[in-house]
Structure 1
Amino acid sequence: MIRLINMKMLTNENTTESSQIKGTILVLGSGPIRIGQGIEFDYASVQCVHSLKKLGYKVAIVNNNPETVSTDFDTADRLYFEPLTPQDVMNVIKVEKPLGVVVAFGGGTAIKLAKYLDSHKVKILGTSADAIDLAEDRERFEELCDRLNIKRPKGLTVFTEVEALEAAAKITYPVLMRPSYVLGGQNMIVARNNADVKEYMKIILRQGIENPVLIDKYMEGTELEVDCICDGENVLIPGIMEHIERTGIHSGDSIAVYPGNFTPHIEEKIVRQSTDLALALGTQGLVNIQYLIYQDDLYIIEANPRSSRTVPYLSKVSGVPMIELATRAMLGEKISDMGYGTGLYRKPDYCAVKVPVFSFEKLMDVDTHLGPEMKSTGEVLGIAPTREEAIFKGMVAAGWKMLKSGGVLFSVRDSDLPELPSLAQKFYDLGFTLYATTGNAATIERSGMTVNHVAKVHENYHDNVMTLLESGKVVYVISTSAKGRDPLAESVKLRRLAVERDIDCLTALDTANALADCLAGPYTLDNTSIIDINHDLVL
C-alpha cells in the first residue's frame, strides 16, 4: 500500500487548469534530513515543482520528511509521503505513470536511485543515469578527464585493507579516503599514515560496502567550486566561489566567498574546463564541480551532476534563478531562449560570504575538529561592498562573538607550526594575551612575542589547558591537532570543553586568520553597510 499523511494521498485542487496540463512529472525529494544533507535540497525540490507547474505540468513529489516545505500540502499537486527506496518509488511510478522522474534536486539520496530506475525503463529527466554513474565511477571519470586534459590528484580504488595500504604507499601520504556515492562527506578522512588507513578500512568494511573506496593524493591548496547550468549544447556559470579554508575541510563547513579572487589565467581555465566537462557529461540541468588550485595550477576534485548545497546561496547573490533554468533545460529548452548568455555570468559590485553554523553544544561527544566529513547544521549569508566586511557580517551572524580583547590559546599540530608565528602576531598586535602549549609557545617566542606556557593535562594535572579554560581568561581556542576519532583524546576533550564553556574554537589556521583580520578591521555592528542586491547599490 502506498502511504501518505493519514494514509491518504493529498491532492491540491488549486492547480493548473486540466486543459493546460501536459502530463505528470515525478520529483524525488531528499528524504529525512541528517547532518551533511541540509534543507538546500528541499529548496531545490520546491523550486523545481514551482517551475514545472508554471510550465503546465502536473507534479507529484515523493518525500517522507514532514519538516520540509516540499511536503506541505499545497506545494505539489500530489504528495506521496513514502521512503525514497527503489520499491516504494516504483510503486508510486506505477500509480502516477509519469512522463519522467526528476532525481537531480534531492541530493545524494535521490541521485542514488537513478541507476535502478533506468534499469527498469523509467525515464530520467535531465542528465542520464549513465552520465551520473560516469561522474562517480573512478576509472570512467579519469578517462574523461584525461581526454579533456583536466588534471586530477592521483587516485586509486580499493575494496580491501591490503589494497588500501598498497594504494596509499603508491600515491604517498597524506591521502584522502572516501566511499564512492558519498553524502555530505560521510566517512571521509585524511589519512597520514598506515595506522589511519587500517583504522578507516576496519570501520568501512564493518558497514559492508558495495561500491569501492576512493583513495586520492591529498593536495593542500585553495579550494573552489562552480555550479553550472547546461542544456546539452551551452553552459551558463552563475559564479565561482572560493573557500577561505584550504582543501581538507568539507565544502559545507568552509567559509565560501563570491565572487572568488583568481588570476585571469586561472579564471579562464575554470570556465573552459567546467564548460568542457559539463558538455562531455551530457549534462542537462545542473552540475556542481569542485576544484583546487595547487602551485598555480588547476586540479579537479569531483563533479556532481545534480543540485548542490550552494545553489540557493548562489541563486540569491547572482540573481540567476538557477533551479528554474535547470528545470527548463532538463525539458529541452535552450539557455539562449531563456534570456541568458553563456560562459561566466556578470560579477556583482558587492561581495557575498557563506559562513557555516554548527550545533556542537547539542551534540555530545562529537569532536569539533573540521575535516572532510560535514558537520555544520546551517549557514548564514553576509553581503557587503568588500570581502572583509562581508566576512565580518557573516561571522557575526553565525554566532561568533568577535571579542577584541582577552586571551588566545594556541595548540596546533606540528605541520602547522611554520604558519603559527604570523597568526599569533596578528592577535599579539591587537593586544590579546597569548597562551600556548610547550611546542607552540617555543615557536611563538622565537618570533619575539611574549607568550604564557601552558601544560597539557598529562604534564600537570592541577594547572593545564583545561584549568585555563575553566578560569575564563581565554576567549579564543585555536586547536588544529589531528582529528580525534577517540573521544578520550586530550585534543578532543579540549575542544569539547571550549564548546561547554561557550568559548569560540577554531580548528583551521585559515579560519583563525580570517577572524584575526576581521578583528583588526574597523567594522562593528553599528557601522556595517546595507546592500541592495537587486541593484548592486550601497544604501
Structure 2
Amino acid sequence: IEFDYCCVHAAFALKEEGFETLMVNSNPETVSTDYDTSDKLFFEPLTLEDVLHIYEREKCWGAIAQFGGQTPLNLALGLQQNGVNIIGTSPQSIEVAEDRKLFAAMLRKLDIPQPNNGLATNEAEALEVSKRLGYPVLVRPSFVLGGRAMQIVYSDNELQHYMRFAVEASPERPVLVDQFLEDATEVDVDCIADVGLHADPAAATIVIGGMLEHIEFAGVHSGDAAMVLPPHTLSKQVIQTIRDYTHAMARELKVTGLMNVQYAVKDEIVYVLEVNPRASRTVPFVSKAIGRPLAKLAAKVMAGKTLKELGFTEEIWPAYWAVKESVFPFNKFHGQDILLSPEMRSTGEVMGLDENLGIAYAKSQMAANSPLPLGGAVFISVNDRDKPKIVEVARQFAELGFSLVSTSGTATVLEAAGLKVQRVFKLSEGRPNALDLLKNREMQLVINTPSGAAPRSDEVKIRTTAVYTGTPIMTTVSSAKAAAQGIAALKERGYQVKTVQEYH
C-alpha cells in the first residue's frame, strides 16, 4: 500500500508538470493500476528484459526506480547500463547505501557511528564474527525488503541453526551480522533533497519531512513498530545530531528525491543502522501528519525542479502528536504467536492525532481495533530482564483503579514493591490459570513480555488466547507504559475527534 501511494502521487505530480506517465506494475490489487492513474499501464513483471522493452518501445525520457520498494531498486544498475536514464538519486549512490563495505566506508569518512558489524559467507565466519561482537547479534541476508529472514540471535546454537536453515550464504550474497543494541530507541527519518540538481552539494536544499520515534525498542521491523511523530523522549541534542547526520549523508549520496534513515539511540549516542535512498513505508504517514505530499514533491524534484522552486525549504515540527500503530491479521491465523520481530507481519496501519500524546496513542489503539480499557483487571507476566521496569507501570495501573493479576515470579516482585496482587497459577500448575480468566473475560488487558529467544509454550497460549478474546495485549514494557499514559489521559479528559485538515 505505502509504495502504491508513492507511485500514484508520482504519476499525478508528473502529469501536472506536463509529462506522459507510464506505470509498470503486475499487481492488479493497487490504485496505481487504476485505468485513470497514469497515461499508460503495463501489467508486466519487473524484470530487466520487460522494463527495457517497454522503455525502448515507448521512447521514454526517464525512469523512476525509488518509489516501488526493493525490486525496482535492484534493477536500477542494470537498467542504467542498458542506457536507461534513471532520474533521481543515481544507481551508484543506491549501491553505496546497499553495499555494506561501501556504506561503512562512507560512514567512516563522515565520522558517523554504526553498530559494530561483520560479513559472513558461511557458518564458520558467522560464528567468528559473533564471537568478536558478543551476543545478542542481529543476522540478516543482504538486499532484502520487509526484514525477511532477519533474526536476533542469542547463542552459537541459534546462529548455527540460522545459517543452516534460514538463509543461503554465498560470497555474492553474504549474511550481515550486526551487534544488536538492546534497549536502544529506534528512530526513522524521512527526508527530501535536491542535491543531484546542483553542481555544488552545499547549495542544495535538504528538508527532513519527519522524525518518527519507535515506541517498541530496537529490533522490531519499522513496518510493525508503533511510532510517534515528533519524537517524545529524545533530548534536543540527540535530535540535532540526527538532523546533522541526515543532512551529511544526503549530501554525500547526492540524494535527489526521498531518503529514509534508520537510527538507534543508546546512552545519548546516535548510531546509523541503515540508509535507503528511496521512498520508505513511512512516507504516506509522514505526509499526512505534516500536511505536505512528500512523494509528489519528490517526483517533481526528480524531474528537475528544486525544492526552493517548489516552496518547501523548512522542516515542519507539528504542535500535535501523530501516533502510527500497525494492524495485524493474527486473528486469522490460529495458533500463530503474535510477538513482533525484525520480520514484518503487519497488513496495514492507522494513525492517532491529538494535542495530548496519551490520547493520540489511545486513538491509534481504537483505530487498530484494540481499544484501551478504562477499568477492570490487568494481567502482568514479564521476563526477568523486565521485572525491575514493570513495577512503575504496575503502580500506574493500580492508581488508575485496575486490579493486578500475576503469576508467581512477577507477583513476588510487585508485592515486594508494596502492590496488591491476585496470584494465579501458571498453566502447568493447575487452575484457575491465566487462560481461564481470559476466556471468562475477567481480564481487560494483558502485559506479557517474552522470556528469551524461544518463548515458552504457555506464553504463546496466553498471547494467542488474548487475540481470540479481543483482549488488548502489550508485549513490551514501553508499549505498556504508553497504554497506561493513554488510559490516564482518557480518564482525565476524554477525547474529541477532528478531521486531519483541521490540524494543518
For this structure pair, what is the TM-score category when the shorter chain's length is used for normalisation? over 0.9
Partners in 1 of 2:439 and 2:490 — Cα distance?
31
Q: Structure 2 counterpart of 1:454, which letter?
A: V
1:59 aligns to 2:29 (yes or no): no
Partners in 2 of 1:147 and 1:379 — Cα distance?
37
Counterparts in 2 of 1:14-163, with a 5 A limit? 39-163=1-125
Which residue number corresponds to residue 528 of structure 1? Answer: 495
Q: Is the 8 A contact 1:291 1:302 kept in 2?
A: yes
Which of 298, 303, 321 is residue 275 of structure 2 equivalent to?
303
Which residue number corresponds to residue 351 of structure 2? Answer: 381
Query: Which residues of structure 2 form unaligned runs of 5+?
Result: 196-203
1:258 aligns to 2:224 (yes or no): no
Which residue number corresponds to residue 451 of structure 1? Answer: 421
Partners in 1 of 2:117 and 2:249 — Cα distance?
19
1:245 aligns to 2:245 (yes or no): no
Which of 129, 147, 155 is residue 193 of structure 1 equivalent to?
155
Which residue number corresponds to residue 21 of structure 1? Answer: none
1:403 aligns to 2:373 (yes or no): yes
Provide TM-score, normalisation by structure 2.
0.92
Aligned residues: 494
Query: Aligned to 2:223, what secondary structure does the other structure show?
Result: helix
Change (3 A) 1:314 1:496: same
Q: Is the 8 A contact 1:401 1:504 kept in 2?
A: yes
Residue 308 of structure 1: CA displacement? 0.9
Query: Aligned to 1:100, what secondary structure does the other structure show?
Result: coil
Which of 221, 228, 235 is residue 184 of structure 2 equivalent to?
221
Which residue number corresponds to residue 498 of structure 1? Answer: 466
Query: Aligned to 2:444, what secondary structure does the other structure show?
Result: strand
Residue 533 of structure 1: CA displacement? 5.0
Q: Is the 8 A contact 2:3 2:67 kept in 1?
A: yes
Which of 308, 322, 327 is residue 294 of structure 2 equivalent to?
322
Partners in 1 of 2:15 and 2:503 — Cα distance?
31
Partners in 2 of 1:215 and 1:436 — Cα distance?
37
Query: Aligned to 1:374, what secondary structure does the other structure show?
Result: coil
Residue 397 of structure 1: CA displacement? 1.4
Change (3 A) 1:419 1:485: closer
Partners in 2 of 1:169 and 1:290 — Cα distance?
25
Partners in 2 of 1:530 and 1:453 — Cα distance?
39
Residue 536 of structure 1: CA displacement? 4.5
Partners in 2 of 1:140 and 1:227 — Cα distance?
22
Partners in 2 of 1:465 and 1:198 — Cα distance?
35
Partners in 2 of 1:89 and 1:483 — Cα distance?
46
Change (3 A) 1:513 1:284: same
Larger CA deviation: 472-481 vs 306-315: 472-481
Partners in 1 of 2:494 and 2:276 — Cα distance?
40
Residue 115 of structure 1: CA displacement? 2.7
Residues 430-452 of structure 1 show CA distances to partners (whole Å, capped at 9, x for unaligned) of 22222222221211111111223
Residues 282-338 of structure 1 show CA distances to partners (whole Å, capped at 9, x for unaligned) of 211100011121101211111111101111111122122211221122123221221
Partners in 2 of 1:466 and 1:532 — Cα distance?
40
Partners in 2 of 1:435 and 1:449 — Cα distance?
11
1:269 aligns to 2:241 (yes or no): yes
Which of 227, 251, 265 is residue 293 of structure 1 equivalent to?
265
Q: Structure 2 counterpart of 1:225, which letter?
A: D
Which residue number corresponds to residue 201 of structure 2? Answer: none
Residue 485 of structure 1: CA displacement? 6.5
Q: Structure 1 counterpart of 2:157, which letter?
A: A
Change (3 A) 1:54 1:348: same
Residues 496-535 of structure 1 show CA distances to partners (whole Å, capped at 9, x for unaligned) of 12112222221111111111111122458x9423446556
Larger CA deviation: 389-398 vs 206-215: 206-215
Q: CA RMSD in A?
A: 2.2
Residues 387-428 of structure 1 show CA distances to partners (whole Å, capped at 9, x for unaligned) of 222112212111123212222222222221221211211222
Change (3 A) 1:492 1:87: farther
Partners in 2 of 1:314 and 1:266 — Cα distance?
20
Query: Which residues of structure 1 form unaligned runs of 5+?
Result: 1-38
Residue 149 of structure 1: CA displacement? 1.0
